[in-house]
């Protein structure tokens, strides 16, 4: 195993070779248990750990100008059309 895989500890956030992000919740000699969603824990080989994820500091002022966001948000024609048709538009399973 590599130094990275040997240095892991509970609470570390990692990325697997399959592109899965998870949080280490338990470690075995050859395996690692990852929480991939709240309450969802999966067991993996330690060898699939590609990198440890380190949170980058947030950039920007830390405040959001909600007025400018709302003013720039496009209208949704689909929702408007559905409302005009009584909101009972059935789902379509084909392209037509």
DSSP state of 47: G
Which residues are within 8 A (CB) of 12 and not within 5 positions of it... i.e. 6 or more apart? 23, 24, 52
pLDDT of 53: 92
pLDDT digits (tens, 9 = 90+) for 46-75: 999 999 998 766 566 666 666 665 555 555
Domains of the chain: 3-52 (2.30.30.140)
Q: CA–CA separation, 62 vs 84, rounded Å? A: 39
> With pLDDT > 70 as the criterion, what percentage of the chain qualifies?
58
- Answering whether pTM is above 0.85, one says no
Positive or negative, the CA dihedral 45, 50, 55, 59 is negative
Q: Is the pLDDT of residue 83 over 60?
A: no
The residue that leads in pLDDT, 69 or 92, is 92
In terms of DSSP H, where are the helices of 1-96?
Answer: 3-7, 66-72, 77-84
Q: CA–CA separation, 82 vs 56, rounded Å? A: 42
Q: Is the pLDDT of residue 25 over 80?
A: yes
């Amino acid at each position: 195993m590599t130094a990275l895989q040997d240095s892991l500890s509970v609470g570390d956030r990692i990325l697997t070779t399959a592109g899965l992000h998870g949080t280490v919740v338990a470690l075995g000699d050859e395996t690692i248990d990852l929480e991939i969603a709240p309450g969802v824990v999966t067991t993996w080989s330690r060898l699939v750990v590609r990198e440890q994820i380190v949170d980058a500091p947030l950039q920007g002022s830390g405040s959001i100008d909600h007025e400018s966001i709302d003013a720039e948000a496009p209208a949704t024609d689909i929702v408007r059309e559905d409302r005009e048709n009584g909101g009972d538009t059935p789902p379509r399973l084909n392209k037509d």
